[in-house]
Amino acid sequence: MNYAVILAGGSGKRFWPLSRKSKPKQFLSIISKKTMIEETVDRVASFIDRKNIIVVASIEQKDNFDVVDLNIPDENILYEPVAKNTAMAIAYAAAFINKIDKDAIMIVLPSDHYIKEKDLFKKSVTDVIKSANEGYLVTFGITPNRPEMGYGYINIGEAIDNKGELYKVSSFVEKPNQRDAIDYMKKGTFLWNSGMFIWRADVIKEEFRKYLPEHYESMVSIEKNRDDVDIAYKKIENISIDYGIMERSSKIACKKCNFTWDDVGSWKAIERHNEKDGNGNTIIGNAELKDAHDNIIISKEGLTVLIGVDDIIVVRTNDATLVCQKDKDNEIKEIIDKIGNQPNKKQYI
């Protein structure tokens, strides 16, 4: 049987001040009228029964699930007592699924990505279920349409199938500088690392045993008794599935995908998916502009006025305002971490 695992533990700091600790971006309506997690669940529900959709989230977000419409069983929401990165979140979900179905296929997806062509996404998943059943850990690589510096890359090697869609992986590559990103586009063997995966639940369990034995022990413990989650999480190191398993396993394959994808990782994603005015400005909410070009304005409270400024991001809420040069948006997380360490300002995060 096929299961979808949706990872919803992110904090969404780069979308501050709209995204807060109490309501991170996966619970916000950023690209459409639905929240991002609702969009993700609906996307997989077109080909996976909702009773087989699992969400892994922070216990701090429990209240947010009362106001989103996921239409999945309550017991399918697995609450983590503390965030320990994607490896432990996936181990938790695998333990839950293995207890139900030893032959299960797991499709692992972040909760906050944008995919435009849902039919192409469905086809990409169904195309590689056979390969997952054969023991491959399949990762989804996206054909890039721009030299993006904000994503990690997968350098693919020779084809595994005769369709030229499933490839061996030569290497995983960190976020590049601009020169390297342009070079990757020219080479044609570099795909964006989407952070989406498909594998058998028992196969990933065995890979945890090989490469992350403490995670494996926690998985076995949770599989025997779900009440052991708190204890299991305490002794686990914070490590991603990429570093922990994907970059070490000999069973990796990459599905080359051509659907429109965005990890919606920063405010600049807003202008990729919304209409612009005649001066290149992306405006959501109430704003008035004069001699202003290529700005991103989200004005949730009152009226925001921009005069004579270009290439900035302005996000205004009822209690906080962000003004940032567009090319400095990668520094938002840093300043939010700083604010979080100041007792008199912690309420703003």
> pLDDT tens across 236-290, in order?
999 999 999 999 999 999 999 989 999 888 899 899 989 999 999 999 999 999 9
User: What pLDDT is attached to residue 163?
Assistant: 73
Query: 166 to each of 51, 124, 125, 130, 237, how far by Cα in Å?
Result: 29, 10, 12, 12, 32
Residues of the chain falling short of pLDDT 70: 164
* Among 242, 254, 253, CA closest to 90: 242
User: What pLDDT is attached to residue 130?
Assistant: 92
Token duo for residue 175 = 């976020």
Distance, in Å, from the CA atom of 133 to the CA atom of 334, rounded to the nearest integer, reads: 42
User: What pLDDT is attached to residue 300?
Assistant: 85
* Among 307, 292, 296, CA closest to 329: 296
Residue 342: CB atoms within 10 A of its CB come to 10
Please enumerate in sequence order all residues whose Cβ is within 8 A of that of 285, keeping only pairs 6 or more positions apart, or say none. Answer: 297, 298, 299, 300, 304, 316
Q: Which sequence spans correspond to the domains of the chain?
A: 2-262, 268-348
Token duo for residue 345 = 């300002």
Distance, in Å, from the CA atom of 134 to the CA atom of 317, rounded to the nearest integer, reads: 50
User: What pLDDT is attached to residue 309?
Assistant: 97
* Residue listed under structure tokens 């979140």: 89
Distance, in Å, from the CA atom of 325 to the CA atom of 46, rounded to the nearest integer, reads: 40
With b for 16 or more beta-carbon neighbours within 10 A and e for fewer, the 288-310 pattern comes to ebeebeebbbbbeeeebebeebe
Considering only the top CATH level, what class is 2-262? alpha beta
* Among 13, 31, 17, CA closest to 300: 17
Three-class SS state of 125: helix
Please enumerate in sequence order all residues whose Cβ is within 8 A of that of 152, keeping only pairs 6 or more positions apart, or say none. Answer: 172, 173, 174, 175, 192, 193, 242
Indicate the residue type of 44. V
Residue 271: CB atoms within 10 A of its CB come to 17
- Strand-pairing partners, residue 186, are none
**pTM to 2 decimals?**
0.92
Q: Report residue 165 CA to chain centroid gap.
A: 23
Residue 349: CB atoms within 10 A of its CB come to 20
Distance, in Å, from the CA atom of 45 to the CA atom of 125, rounded to the nearest integer, reads: 13
